Amino acid sequence: MEKDLVSDSRVVDIHCHLLPGMDDGARSWEESLKMARIASESGINTVVATPHWIQGTVWEPNPDVVRKKVSELNELLRKNSIPLSVFPGMEIGVSENLVELVSSGRVLTLAEGKYVLVEVPFFSLPIGIEEVVYRLAGRGFFPILAHPERSRDIQKKPKRIRELVDNGALIQITAGSLCGCFGDNAKQCALELIELDAVHIVASDAHSSDKRPPLLSKAMDIVKRIKGIEYMNRLLLNASRCLE
């Protein structure tokens, strides 16, 4: 992102798979550093590392392992003079016991605060997702639904997102969706969600340094063009609040 767009703000990417060997993201420390450089050089100065956590699969990382890798990565960034700060988090799959998983600390919230990144499946929305969102909000958490614009259910009926927002959900769309990287349907849905004023955060959901890099600048330029700089800065501020 251009440095002068948010001269007084921290530019935070709350959704990034840059920890090596945790999921389908970075495969090595070298790849992690490449991703970190790309993020930093584009104007991002803070990233939340969000490996997948999906119950009943091989992707159930231990929170302590995530914390350790984040600490190791921050040390590597310091040694390589890359001005980027990384915080621990997870992208958590929807499950009936999600509230208990979060409350017990078995899964990580974003920067270990009150914001919970919840993965929205790409096909149908899980039955009871509204109840999960409502219960999380009732426990004092802020559920953030990741990339709903890529869900076929939401693409067919974008206004359904209002039900989730009314139940307490925050909405994170992916930068690549706005840029057309995931097809016309995802792009159109992302634009419709913005027009519905149902988007709170744009994040990279980066998985690599080449095909899915940690970039926000092009997407934010699109947001600024269609909604103005104040709206764009509001989205950036929302992302920075996830570190609280």
**Is residue 1 in a domain?**
no
- CA pair distance 119, 126, nearest whole angstrom: 11
Query: Long-range pairs for 78-82 at CB < 8 Å and ≥24 separation?
Result: 80/33, 82/33, 82/36, 82/37, 82/40
Residue 3 domain flag: no
**What DSSP string describes 70-91?**
HHHHHHHHHHTT---EEEE--E
Q: Is residue 7 part of a domain?
A: no
In contact, 113 and 140? CB cutoff 8 Å: no
Of 210, 207, 147, the residue nearest 19 (C-alpha): 207
DSSP tag of 206: B
Euclidean distance between CA atoms 177 and 182, whole angstroms: 5
Q: Is residue 219 part of a domain?
A: yes
In a domain, residue 92? The reply is yes
Phi and psi angles of residue 13, each rounded to the nearest 5 degrees, phi first:
-105, 110
The type of residue at 153 is D
**pLDDT for residue 10:** 85
Domain carrying residue 39: 12-241
Q: Which two tokens stand for residue 238?
A: 């929302």
Count of domains in the chain?
Answer: 1
Whether residue 101 contacts residue 130, with contact meaning beta carbons closer than 8 Å, is answered with: no
Instruction: Provide the whole-model pTM.
Output: 0.94
Q: Is residue 30 part of a domain?
A: yes
Is residue 5 in a domain? no
What CATH number corresponds to the domain at position 123? 3.20.20.140
Residue 143 lies inside a defined structural domain of this protein? yes
Q: pLDDT tens string for the chain (244 positions)?
A: 334 344 346 899 999 999 999 999 999 999 999 999 999 999 999 999 999 999 999 999 999 999 999 999 999 999 999 999 999 999 999 999 999 999 999 999 999 999 999 999 998 898 889 999 999 999 999 999 999 999 999 999 999 999 999 999 999 999 999 999 999 999 999 999 999 999 999 999 999 999 999 999 999 999 999 999 999 999 999 999 999 8
Q: Which residues pair with 9 in a beta bridge?
A: none
